Amino acid sequence: MSRRTKVGLFIGLIIAVAAGIGGLSAARKGSRATEVRLEAVGTRDLVSVVTASGKIEADTKVDVSADITGRIVKINVREGDMVKKGDLLIQIDPAQYQSVVSRSEAFLQTSEANLLQVRTNRDQAKRQLDRATEIR
């Protein structure tokens, strides 16, 4: 027997053994009975859970900004908190602005005093004019 014939027989034997093992495995699986569950027809709650990934976007987006600048001394909300219009979100150090208010109030008082002085001068000038016209 030639070498070529021996190799051919060996390969044929391997194929036959593999086919036999595959056939036995298929025969064993085919003999098992399929399990079936029977239930009466009726209504019940259907619970369905879906796991998915995605991107969440807010319905509305609001940019928050301040009319003034300053050092923040207190933060009253955290990210994700619900807020309404008018809620105090942060507190800015008022020292810088209190001095501006004090100066403005002082300027207002000075201006009011100057206005009073100007009105007094006007009234005095009017009286002098009236006297001068009477004398003529």
Interval 71-99 mean pLDDT:
88
Q: Output the pLDDT for position 107.
A: 96
How many Cα atoms are found within 13 Å in the side-chain-facing hemisphere of 111? 6
The string of pLDDT tens digits covering residues 87-99 is 998 998 888 888 8
The yes-or-no verdict on residue 31 having pLDDT over 80 is no
Residue 80: which pLDDT band, with cuts at 50, 70 and 90?
confident
Token pair of 53, please?
């990934």
Q: What percentage of the chain has pLDDT greater than the value 90?
A: 26
Interval 14-37 mean pLDDT:
75
The yes-or-no verdict on residue 103 having pLDDT over 60 is yes
The string of pLDDT tens digits covering residues 108-123 is 999 999 999 999 999 9
Encode 87-99: b = buried (16+ Cβ within 10 Å), e = exposed: eeeeeeeeeeeee
Residue 29: which pLDDT band, with cuts at 50, 70 and 90?
low
Q: Could you tell me how far CA 115 lies from the centroid of its own chain? A: 54
For the chain, give the mean pLDDT: 86
Residue 27: which pLDDT band, with cuts at 50, 70 and 90?
low
